[in-house]
Amino acid sequence: MLAKRIIPCLDVRNGQTVKGINFVNIREVGDPVEMGANYAEQGADELVFLDITASHEGRKTFVQLVKRIALHLNIPFTVGGGIGELSDIEALLAAGADKVSLNTAAIRNPELINRMALNFGSQFVVTAIDAKEENGVWTAYINGGRIPTDKELFSWARECEDRGAGEILFTSMNHDGTRNGFACEALSRLSESLSIPIIASGGAGNMEHFAEVFTSGKADAGLAASIFHFNEITVPQLKSYLAERNIPVRL
């Protein structure tokens, strides 16, 4: 079995790492370059940097910041936010990003997934899906969780895979920032219906939640922000906990 990945996520707004609850009540928590370097030293497997207001504000993502991040990291990192065309992706990869995450852009122009996979390879393509469950239906949202779409989580995830996405980053908006655990039932269903890796996001509150998401949730990677940003759990502590429970991780 492949090792499960631990991925701290840094949501960035105006050059600062921020965190909210259910995509609102956002506050600043630190410098993304310094925080990213610290997570790399702790043994994080990867990092994700998301420019959370770029799409909503109609601007490009943070290429200059990505260059700074790349200079201070020795682990893979993914960048997303404000991507609208192939040239944006090319600029981010040239700046040092290892993968690019598409969310709003992918839903507005699904063909962009195909073009990115064809031009750069599926291994560079992460399709992020922010979805909210209401009355048993998971609906995908765009613009940082502000606008609902006609895309349903599971059918859209399958389409993304068919178009060439190499990974799915699923964030449950119902669970985001609540620290009550991941959306394991939905994650398990995603994992069983797709052949590409699933990154779980939204709801991590303790180490047991990660154990649950890797077992009952069948996720390939667990992503979190608050618990790492506020030093409630460190990456080494979490990996030791998981290893003691026979969940494969890179120590």
Tell me which DSSP letter residue 249 carries: B
Out of 51, 130, 176, 220, the active site residue is 130
Out of 11, 51, 88, 176, the active site residue is 11
**Cα(182)–Cα(171) distance, integer angstroms:** 9
Closest CA to 46 of 93, 97, 11: 97
Closest CA to 23 of 190, 141, 127, 186: 141
Q: What distances in angstroms separate CA 35 from CA 4, 42, 207, one per listed residue?
A: 22, 11, 20
**Cα(84)–Cα(150) distance, integer angstroms:** 19
**Does residue 11 carry a catalytic annotation?**
yes
Catalytic residue numbers read: 11, 130
